[in-house]
Each structure stands twice: as structure tokens, then as C-alpha cells.
């Protein structure tokens, strides 16, 4: 936070919410390092609205109510100008209530597309209708997938994303198995031993971080990866590495944040963080782009005032910057989404999704 001899007129404090514990904890180092690069790049120019960015990181891996209480206390200082980060939708919903539209909140990962988000909550990650649903349709066309099994963590994003898939399928009965497990689950035998799984053509994984890695290892260990493809919108290179290359066979991932590195981002990241830095992943890239998108929105609109930003969003705000997100549809930042196949601990991008 700014020191007592600094004012909000001189700096803009950004809260970055990333999980440093729980199944999402394997994501945090990459996200934090990527956000740090974005902040330094912006500060090396004119900052945001001519002011230097300061960054405060808080642990988004705690219960949503605990995270929201800390955010509310920091907002009470009057020094916070914006919020971003990679964390679960359950945390986002609690934090958005605490923020109550006082500052812009750029949510940097996939979401479930609920219609009642508060003003000022800008979705940088994808809506399921722009990511999971077209990825499933691609697998139907290209791989002959018709029936799905779904395994997810038990909170708002997995349940609503599965609902979006069900709406898009020819019949609701095409989801032959649907299970939700607590975050931190270590044993998936109840799902893997379920007879209904044998009627599925593919599995949709809607879990976080280490939970997905553990599931993929167990899925492979029972021999299912040889003939049953998996799809997830929530896998990055850290998840692939944690599972191990042998557990990632036949795994497809949909994302808007695969790195093509046309702008030399990886090289800048290495220079900034050093050769022992955590890998710059798709999730880290989403948080990097969220901070740059915040700068683009603020500089385009001329303020971080939420009602003013919302009015410009309603007009159809277009922005310019190094990020892939160049405009908005309501509160949703829009840009191209791609499908990749896991290749060991990396991704092979195979198609663009419409």
C-alpha cells in the first residue's frame, strides 16, 4: 500500500488476488511474476492516468468470506484504485459484493457468465459460450464426441459451465455422468469406477489446479486416457507439469491466453524475472493482460470512476494495447479463443474456435 506521505493523487494501488494455498496455489508464482512484469512495463511509461502503479498481493486461496473481509478493509483506506487477479468465481462473487462497484475489478480467468455481476466487474477471461461450448462442439465435429461425463469442483463456476454445455447439446441426456467434489479432493475413484463413465465419449474437467493434475494422473493410471479424450478450459502449463507428461495424453484445452510470443513477451519476462523464474503460463498471461487492459481502459476513458467506465462499456468500448483483448461486449472483454492439445508439458495449438 502507499506510504502515509503519498496520496492517491500520486499513485494507483492495485490489489492482486491470487491463491497461495489450496489446489490453486500451483498457479500463484506464475501469475504473480507476470503481474509484476506488467506493472513494471506500465510504470516505465506514463503509468495509469499519469500515476505510478503500486501493487498489493493478497491470498485468494482462503475461504471467499475471509478474502472479501480483507479486501473491504483495504478499500476502507481509500487508497485502492482497482482490483485484479486469478482466483475462483466463488472468491470473485464475495469480493464483488464487498467492493460494491467502488473500483474497477478485472477478473482474469474464466467465469460462468452470470447476468447479475455488479457494475465495474470486467470479465477478462472467457464466458463458457465463447470457450467451453465451442470447444465441445469442435470435439463433436472432429472426434465424434456426442456423450459427455463431467467432473468439477463443487462451486459456482463448474456447475454453471456444465449447465451451459447441457443447454448446447442436442439432448440434456448427452451428459451421462456429472459429479462435483470438494476442492482439495485427492481420490477420484468414485467417479472413475462409475459404470456410466463407460457410456461417455469424452470427459469435461472443471476443477482447479492441483485437483486437475491429480485427476489426470488417476485417469491415466486406470487406462482411460488411451481412448477417452478430456477437455478443460482451466489447465495451464503448471497443471501439465504437476500431472507429469504421461498423464496429459488426449487432453484438450480451450483458452484465449496461449502465448504466440509475437511481441517478445517471453524474452521480456525472462529478463525481468531471471532464468529461474516460474514459467510464463496461460494463466500468468491472463493476469498480465488484465493489468495492461486496466491501463488501456483507464487511458481510453480518462478515469477509473466506475459509473463513467460502465457508460463507455454500454457504448461499446474499444481499447488499444499489447493485450489480446481489444474491446468489450457488455462487461465481457472479447478476443480470439483457441483449442490446444497437450503435448507433454506444453501445448500444441490446433484450431481457432468460433
Query: What's the rounded Cα separation, in Å, for the pair 92 and 94?
Result: 5
Q: What is the full DSSP assignment across 127-160?
A: -GGGTHHHHHHHHHHHH----EEEEEESSHHHHH
Asked whether residue 46 falls in the same domain as residue 89, the answer is yes
For the chain, the domain total comes to: 2
Query: What's the rounded Cα separation, in Å, for the pair 137 and 119?
Result: 32
How is residue 92 written as a grid cell? Answer: 470473485
pLDDT over 80 (residue 260): no
Residue 19 in any domain: the answer is yes
Asked whether residue 173 falls in the same domain as residue 198, the answer is yes
**pTM for this predicted structure:** 0.94
Asked whether residue 99 falls in the same domain as residue 15, the answer is yes
pLDDT (mean) for 284-303? 95
Asked whether residue 61 falls in the same domain as residue 163, the answer is no
Q: What does the pLDDT read at residue 1?
A: 53
- The conformation of residue 199, written as its DSSP 8-state character, comes to G
With CA atoms as reference, report the closest residue to 88 among 39, 17, 189: 17
pLDDT over 60 (residue 3): no
Q: What is the full DSSP assignment across 35-81?
A: HHHHHHHHHTTTTBTTBEEEEEEEETTS-HHHHHHHHHHHHTTT-EE
The model's confidence at residue 36, banded by pLDDT at 50, 70 and 90, is very high
Sequence-distant (≥ 6) Cβ neighbours of residue 37 within 8 angstroms: 268, 269, 272, 273, 288
Asked whether residue 81 falls in the same domain as residue 181, the answer is no
Query: What's the rounded Cα separation, in Å, for the pair 23 and 19?
Result: 8
Tell me how far the alpha carbon of residue 123 is from its chain's centroid: 9
Asked whether residue 161 falls in the same domain as residue 97, the answer is no
Asked whether 276 and 270 are in contact (CB, 8 A), the reply is no
Instruction: Count the Cβ atoms, other than its own, within 10 Å of residue 35.
Output: 24
Q: What does the pLDDT read at residue 198?
A: 94
pLDDT over 80 (residue 323): no
Residue 111 in any domain: the answer is yes
Q: What does the pLDDT read at residue 5?
A: 47
| CA within 13 Å, CB half, 206 | 32
Asked whether 31 and 236 are in contact (CB, 8 A), the reply is no
Give me the domain span that covers residue 142.
129-258+338-353
CATH number at residue 16: 3.40.50.2300
Task: Map residue 178 onto helix, strand or coil.
Answer: strand
With CA atoms as reference, report the closest residue to 283 among 216, 337, 237, 248: 237
Asked whether residue 50 falls in the same domain as residue 62, the answer is yes
Sequence-distant (≥ 6) Cβ neighbours of residue 336 within 8 angstroms: 256, 324, 352
pLDDT (mean) for 204-213? 98
pLDDT over 70 (residue 2): no
The model's confidence at residue 30, banded by pLDDT at 50, 70 and 90, is very high
Asked whether residue 250 falls in the same domain as residue 265, the answer is no
Residue 302 in any domain: the answer is yes
Phi/psi of residue 101, each to 5°? 65, 25
Residue 87 in any domain: the answer is yes
Asked whether residue 123 falls in the same domain as residue 267, the answer is yes
Triad 299, 305, 311: Cα angle to 5°: 85
Residue 204 in any domain: the answer is yes
pLDDT over 70 (residue 144): yes
Asked whether residue 230 falls in the same domain as residue 347, the answer is yes
Sequence-distant (≥ 6) Cβ neighbours of residue 72 within 8 angstroms: 98, 99
Task: Map residue 350 onto helix, strand or coil.
Answer: strand
Asked whether residue 181 falls in the same domain as residue 222, the answer is yes
Q: Give the range among 33-42, 198-207, 260-269 with minimum mean pLDDT.
A: 260-269
The dihedral region occupied by 292, where left means phi > 0, alpha psi between -120 and 50, and beta the remainder, is alpha
The model's confidence at residue 326, banded by pLDDT at 50, 70 and 90, is confident
**Per-residue pLDDT tens digits for 61-76:** 999 999 999 999 999 9
The residue whose grid cell reads 502515509 is 4
Residue 51 in any domain: the answer is yes
Q: What does the pLDDT read at residue 83?
A: 98
Residue 73 in any domain: the answer is yes
Average per-residue pLDDT for the chain: 94
pLDDT over 50 (residue 310): yes
Residue 227 in any domain: the answer is yes
Q: What does the pLDDT read at residue 8?
A: 56
Asked whether residue 306 falls in the same domain as residue 344, the answer is no
Q: What does the pLDDT read at residue 7?
A: 52
Amino acid at each position: 500500500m502507499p506510504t502515509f506521505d503519498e496520496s492517491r493523487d500520486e499513485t494507483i494501488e492495485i490489489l492482486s488476488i491470487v491463491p497461495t494455498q489450496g489446489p490453486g496455489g500451483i498457479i500463484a508464482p506464475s501469475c504473480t511474476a507476470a503481474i509484476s512484469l506488467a506493472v513494471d512495463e506500465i510504470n516505465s511509461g506514463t503509468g495509469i492516468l499519469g500515476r505510478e502503479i503500486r501493487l498489493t498481493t493478497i491470498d485468494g486461496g482462503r475461504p471467499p468470506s475471509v478474502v472479501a473481509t480483507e479486501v473491504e478493509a483495504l478499500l476502507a483506506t481509500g487508497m485502492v484504485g482497482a482490483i485484479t487477479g486469478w482466483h475462483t468465481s466463488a472468491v470473485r462473487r464475495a469480493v464483488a459484493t464487498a467492493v460494491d462497484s467502488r473500483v474497477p475489478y478485472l477478473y482474469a480467468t474464466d467465469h460462468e457468465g452470470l447476468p447479475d455481476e455488479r457494475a465495474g466487474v470486467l470479465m477478462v477471461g472467457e464466458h463458457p459460450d465463447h470457450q467451453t461450448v465451442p470447444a465441445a462442439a469442435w470435439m463433436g465435429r472432429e472426434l465424434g464426441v456426442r456423450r459427455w461425463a463431467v467432473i468439477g469442483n463443487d462451486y459456482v463456476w463448474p456447475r454453471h459451465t456444465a449447465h451451459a454445455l447441457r443447454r448446447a447439446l442436442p439432448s440434456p441426456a448427452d451428459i451421462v455422468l456429472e459429479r462435483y467434489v470438494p476442492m482439495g479432493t485427492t481420490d477420484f475413484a468414485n467417479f472413475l469406477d462409475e459404470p456410466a463413465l463407460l457410456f461417455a465419449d469424452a470427459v469435461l474437467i472443471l476443477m482447479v489446479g492441483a485437483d486437475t493434475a491429480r485427476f489426470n494422473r488417476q485417469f491415466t493410471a486406470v487406462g482411460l486416457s488411451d481412448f477417452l479424450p478430456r477437455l478443460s478450459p482451466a489447465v495451464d502449463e503448471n497443471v501439465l507439469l504437476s500431472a507429469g507428461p504421461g498423464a496429459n495424453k488426449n487432453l484438450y484445452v480451450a483458452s484465449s491466453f496461449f502465448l504466440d510470443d509475437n511481441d517478445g513477451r517471453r524474452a521480456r519476462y525472462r529478463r525481468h524475472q531471471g532464468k529461474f523464474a516460474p514459467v510464463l503460463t496461460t494463466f500468468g498471461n491472463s493476469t498480465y493482460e488484465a493489468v495492461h487492459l486496466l491501463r488501456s481502459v483507464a487511458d481510453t476513458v480518462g478515469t477509473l470512476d466506475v459509473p463513467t467506465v460502465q457508460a463507455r462499456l454500454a457504448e461499446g468500448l474499444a481499447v488499444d494495447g499489447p493485450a489480446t483483448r481489444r474491446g468489450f461486449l457488455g462487461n465481457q472483454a472479447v478476443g480470439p479463443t483457441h483449442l490446444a492439445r497437450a503435448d507433454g508439458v506444453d501445448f500444441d495449438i490446433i484450431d481457432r474456435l468460433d
